[in-house]
Structure 1
Amino acid sequence: MDRAADEPLPLRAVSVSPPRQLSEGVLRRRELRRRKRISLLARCWRLLALLASSTGLGWLLLRHGWVLRDAQQVQVTGAWGFSRDQIIQAAGLRFPVPLLQLNPDDLRQRLAGSLPVEQIQLQRHMLPPQLNISLRQRQAVARAQRRQATGLENGFVDRTGAWISRQQQAKARSAVPPGLMVMGWQQRYASTIEQLLLGLPEEAGIQRLRFHRNGELWLYSNRIGPVRLGPLDGQLQRKLLVLNHLTETWGGKPPTPDTRALDLSNPEHPELVLQPPRTIPPSPSGN
């Protein structure tokens, strides 16, 4: 065998450097980063816990806290002609109902559509759970009639000339004065009706207001007869003043028994429309 193969291989010296020690500044920065991560995780967990508890508390309050459970938690003011049960029924309230689920606009629309009321105000109180309803009752002051697609409809009007249906008035406790009747009512005449209700002289004994299809307004009195006010041309106040003056002058009676109507279409020149004179037929001549 070859002698060189039995000889051990020469060892080569390799220098191994000792592990490098990190500086104190690097260690401090690593520790700060570790603490920041831990602090961030802790804040996230606290935020999640707060959100969960808030959600649970809110659900409990909505489900069991801010809830109207019976009619005693509904307070009504201003509706002397209606009971609390009528107001609750008209508003469509069904108990129990969460306060925050109540839509004020929907409640106002239901109340105004079912009852003759206006100026509806709603307030929700959380502690204790309560719903306050404040409204003003629209009182019927005259009977009315309007033309619909299905025919004539009878109803009432309030002091502002607004329409009150028979169904709405039937729920009120107030009686309707039977004296005045408004015929040919339309929404555009509401302000005119309001002005007439304020300005008509009591001595005239007006029983009917009639808005004709041609746009003319007539008054009908059992004392002075028919009164033609003519078209609604912006002189209504002046016409009412003239009517008031003539009524006082005549003592609530027509000036002559032949009076057919009083024409105030031109308030500066009022006219009396007289009955045509009766013609007496000639007597037959004897033969």
Structure 2
Amino acid sequence: MNAECKVCMHRCNLEEGQYGRCRARRNVGGEVVASNYGKITSLALDPIEKKPLYRFYPGSKILSVGSYGCNLTCSFCQNYSISMVREEETDTITLTPEELADKASKLREHGNIGVAFTYNEPLIGYEYVIDTATILRERDMKTVVVTNGSVTKEVAKELLPYVDALNIDLKGFTKEYYKQIGGDLETVKNFIALAAKECHVELTTLVIPDENDSVEEMRQLSQWVASVDEQIPLHVTRFFPRWKMTDRNATEVNKIYELGEVARESLKYVYEGNC
């Protein structure tokens, strides 16, 4: 029996046993389930600023956790070894939501405030995020999500009440660019607008030479963000060659600062990154 996955804009129509484009959701008995539920590839205690979140409990630390899979196909992906693979192509351990929350609790003495779901795309397995967040909230701990924001409104509305803060990748501001990386700009814009009403939101734009580095695009991007909330922090971040995109140099530092100034025309909080 075929089943449609309703998590993201791809709306994959899956045959029995088939995986979606994300490599992590699968049709099992006519129901699309997250095969990466509780399957952990990465675990680290990070400064909150590394997410990056600069205006959410600055100076604190957070237990960062990743799984595998992603619903975009960015050729410059920093974590391609886990985001672009299936379970059998990487090493995992299994942690129940309770077990993950226990690990987070034990790290309080080291400044930990909760769990950040990151590294791969966490929302292709949003059920695990919600289940863990429910336990964390009972323990007065925080849930952070670092995401590309490429999920449907239905998933966003189900998820956001459980999340305290997000860093959302706003990868560019043209439909063509998002199509190139396998995404949809309007889906991300809708997610940002919904998230900004529910919890703390910061945005990151990775500036890539000859792709999304024009002054006009940054001006349009930052003006739109300001129309949602001018106090949303924007991280304007420098690109370094990675994975399949090694055909160009790292972004010039001066370009990052130039675009940062453009963004400040509209936004109160702009941070240049990787410089």
Please, what TM-score do these two structures have when normalized by structure 1? 0.20
Please, what TM-score do these two structures have when normalized by structure 2? 0.20
- Which one has a bigger Cα radius of gyration? 1
Q: Bigger relative contact order, structure 1 or 2, given CA contacts below 8 A and separation 6+?
A: 2
